[in-house]
Amino acid sequence: MQFEEFVKRVSKLSNLDLPGQEAHYLMAPAERIQQLSALDVEQRKPREAGVMAVFYPNSKGETTLVLILRRTYKGVHSNQVGFPGGKAEAVDVDLEDTARRETEEEVGLKGADIRVLKKLTRLYIPPSNFWVQPFIGVVDYTPEFIPEEAEVAAILEVPLTAFLSDNSLIRRQIDTSYGSMIDVPAFQLAGHVVWGATAMMLSEIKWVLRQIDTF
């Protein structure tokens, strides 16, 4: 879809109710749902983070979403695909400010250039003990991405049509924090398997885009 048409359609996002867990759980294995239902999240005193789902026109004017492949490191999200974003810092006004700042740091896209269209449903991530607040945003030009070398192994540019296609939905056996070789629903995007919290947030994005019009 051409970006100009996309922008016209997503202008309706602000008035749309969110599905929340209903959409998240479409991309969550049963083991994760059971784990979440058994947790007293607030007692764990989770930290907060903000992430940004940024849509933009590629060089052909086609609507595209940016994701990142994180570098291999000693952490629970090592070598996983995610959104640009990260933990809240004292300098941030709010979590939208966090998502803008972290997006600029990780992929070189100026946070001030992002027009935020929708605050999505926050998601708790047990392995890292974070509440993550996602946002949908757009920029009206084709960015020149600059990956942050210490954290970002690759920048993944995902066409909107590929993301929304049912052909992007797969299942894989994956080692997770809650079990070995768990059957996991996932997206196949830009040559990578996208699962876990990122897939759950993508599920809500896909749901809201399909509600506002026929994509």
What is the share, in percent, of the chain residues with pLDDT greater than 70? 94
What whole-number distance in Å separates Cα of residue 69 and Cα of residue 86? 14
Short-list 83, 78, 79, 107, CA closest to 95: 83
Q: Which of 24-28, 37-41, 197-201 has the lowest mean pLDDT?
A: 37-41
pTM score: 0.93
The H-or-E segment that residue 204 falls in is helix 196-212
Question: Do 107 and 152 form a contact (C-beta atoms < 8 A)?
Answer: yes
Give residue-wise pLDDT tens across range 57-72. Answer: 999 999 999 999 999 7
What whole-number distance in Å separates Cα of residue 178 and Cα of residue 116? 34
What whole-number distance in Å separates Cα of residue 192 and Cα of residue 126? 23
pLDDT of residue 29: 87
What whole-number distance in Å separates Cα of residue 167 and Cα of residue 169? 5
Question: Do 69 and 191 form a contact (C-beta atoms < 8 A)?
Answer: no
Give residue-wise pLDDT tens across range 89-112. Answer: 999 999 999 999 999 999 999 999
What whole-number distance in Å separates Cα of residue 77 and Cα of residue 94? 24
Is a pLDDT exceeding 70 seen at residue 148? yes
Question: Do 159 and 62 form a contact (C-beta atoms < 8 A)?
Answer: yes
What whole-number distance in Å separates Cα of residue 19 and Cα of residue 118? 13
pLDDT of residue 150: 92
